[in-house]
Amino acid sequence: MIWRAPLLALLLASTPLTAFAQDAAAPTETPEATTPAEETPAPNFEAAPGAAEDISNAIFGGGAEPDFAFGAFQRGYFLTALELALPRAEKGDAPAQTLIAEIYSKGLGVAQNDERAAGWYQLASKNGDTLATFELGLLYQDGVGVAQDRKKAAELFKQAADKGYPPAKYNLALLHVEGIYADPSLTTAATLMREAAETELPEAQYDYGSMLIEGAGVAPNEAEGARYIGLAAEQNLTAAQVDYATLLYLGRGIAKDVAAAVLWYERAAEGGNPVAQNRLAKLVAVGEGTALDLETAAMWRALARRQGLSDPTLDRLLVSIQPEALARAEERARFWPSVPPSVETIAVIPTTPQTAGPQLPTPTDMENAPSKVVVPSVDGADAPAETPVPSDTPVVPTETPPAQNP
């Protein structure tokens, strides 16, 4: 349950306390007797014009113009968002220009058009929008909608990174590691990577943790490196989950915990990572940190093989598996992540709809048709009337002889 302060208390808390402070600081004087004509007039508690709105804005953060175009975009009304953003974009509104670029870049409600998206990103970047600058850098880096120019991409990443945009810092750090389109400097790369990691960007956390463990551009610190990789793993970055599991298994930078390593390998394996599937299969095949299960190990091996990863060591660990268990493992891998159908699962599926009460005859079953029909009598009493049962023998119509010519 979330506790909220009463609205009256919030209003009092937001009211300036200058008058109360002055009253408290003023010296205490003995009131003198006054005549009725000299009495102080009653204070006027009528609010000044706009005071209520000022108090409301102070409490709820109002006063800003609502962005209806972005609101429509968030709700999936992309054509409405485009219609609302266009007049603003034509007047040089950078956020509106970026919004239009996003719509064309992803083909949201309109035909995807990378060239048009690049043009809108260019306008928004010139008008100072950081997101547009970064997205335009990605287009130049990959040559999408514009001619590929990685040097131009590095310049745009630098502009966005200088404004504090974490993804731009991360991409610029990678360029410094590459050392082709940015100055080769592991120290600069580590600094940028740390700044991006501190904003909880999982890719930056993973790479900065790896740099700490290897001592690349920064003093080696395995414990801190393991911590950063663990943070990235908790954000479901699969590569970080695999490496964090390995650190737990080896006890490098963190206390050794094989059971926890199995759990992290399992999370990454369920995410489809073939390395995690292969390593998990080895641990399950020997029962290290988990129960020994050759069939499950063979299933993970089959899944890893499906992605092109073969391991002779794992094959030797599974050489003693029974043919029946191996067949079941292959079947589980074929239907993974679902469960293979079995006799039990098929039996619970009804083949015919269940009906309540006695089964009614089909309309075409003439043998069960009623032989008597109730015909109302003249005096109002219903009396059964005999009606012949239709014969199965078709009635042959009597042929009329052709007319003779006179």
pLDDT tens for each residue of 318-334? 999 999 999 999 999 99
- How large is the average pLDDT for residues 51-55? 58
Q: How confident is the model at residue 379 (pLDDT cuts 50, 70, 90)?
A: low
* Inside any domain, residue 87: yes
- The answer as to whether 307 is a domain residue is no
Q: Are 89 and 96 in contact (CB under 8 A)?
A: yes
Residue 384, φ and ψ in degrees, nearest 5? -70, 140
Q: What's the domain count of the chain?
A: 1
For the chain, how big is the Rg over CA atoms in Å? 40
> What pLDDT is attached to residue 31?
40
| Chain centroid to CA 146 | 29
Q: Which two tokens stand for residue 383?
A: 């009396």
Give the C-alpha distances (Å, rounded to integers) separating 350 from 75, 357, 360.
40, 18, 20
Question: Token digits for 35?
Answer: 């005549």
pLDDT by residue (tens digit) across 125-153? 999 999 999 999 999 999 999 999 999 99
**Dist. CA 176–CA 17, nearest whole Å:** 54
Report the pLDDT value the prediction gives residue 20, as an integer from 0 to 100: 32
Phi/psi of residue 383, each to 5°?
-130, 140
Average pLDDT, the chain: 81
- 374 pLDDT more than 70: no
pLDDT digits (tens, 9 = 90+) for 56-101: 555 545 556 788 999 999 999 999 999 999 999 999 999 999 999 9
Provide the pLDDT confidence category of residue 7 given band limits of 50, 70 and 90: very low
Residue 79 lies in a domain: yes
Query: Coil, strand, or helix at residue 364?
Result: coil
Q: Using DSSP, state whether 352 is helix, strand or coil.
A: coil
Which pLDDT belongs to residue 26? 40
Per-residue pLDDT, 33: 43
Residue from 154, 107, 155, 164 nearest 131 by CA: 164
- The Cα–Cα gap between 324 and 118 comes to 58
Q: What is the mean pLDDT of residues 340-359?
A: 62
Separation CA 42–CA 273 (nearest Å) = 77
Task: List CB contacts of 212: < 8 A, sequence separation 6 or more.
Answer: 218, 220, 221, 222, 224, 225, 228
CB atoms within 10 A of CB 14: 12
* φ, ψ for residue 385, nearest 5 deg: -120, 135
pLDDT tens track for 260-285:
999 999 999 999 999 999 999 999 99
Q: What is the pLDDT of residue 305?
A: 96
The string of pLDDT tens digits covering residues 197-244 is 999 999 999 999 999 999 999 999 999 999 999 999 999 999 999 999
At residue 339, the pLDDT reads 87
- Here the CATH number for the domain that contains residue 123 is 1.25.40.10
> What whole-number distance in Å separates Cα of residue 244 and Cα of residue 231?
9
Place of tokens 């945009």: 165
State whether residue 176 is helix, strand or coil.
helix
In this structure, are residues 233 and 264 in contact, taking their beta carbons and an 8 Å threshold? yes
Q: Which two tokens stand for residue 242?
A: 């695999």
| Mean pLDDT on 351-379 | 58
Query: Do the domain assignments include residue 275?
Result: no
Asked if residue 222 belongs to a domain, the reply is no
Give the Cα separation of 95 and 77 in Å (integer).
17
Give the pLDDT confidence score for residue 36 in this predicted structure: 41
Peptide bond into 337 cis (omega under 30): yes
Q: Domain span at residue 91? A: 68-163
Which residue, among 140, 153, 96, has the nearest Cα to 114 in the 3D structure?
A: 140
Q: What percent of the chain has pLDDT over 90?
A: 67
CB 265 within 8 A of CB 304: no
- Any domain includes 85: yes
Specify if 44 maps to a domain: no
Assess if residue 96 is contained within a domain: yes
DSSP 246-258: HHHHHTSSS---H
Q: If pLDDT is split at 50, 70 and 90, which confidence band does 163 have?
A: very high
Burial class (CB in 10 A: 0-12, 13-18, 19+), 98: buried
- Tokens at 286, concatenated: 């020997």
What tokens were used for 227? 């911590």
330-333 contacts, C-beta under 8 A, 24 or more apart: 330/298, 330/299, 330/302, 332/295, 332/299, 333/299, 333/302, 333/303, 333/306
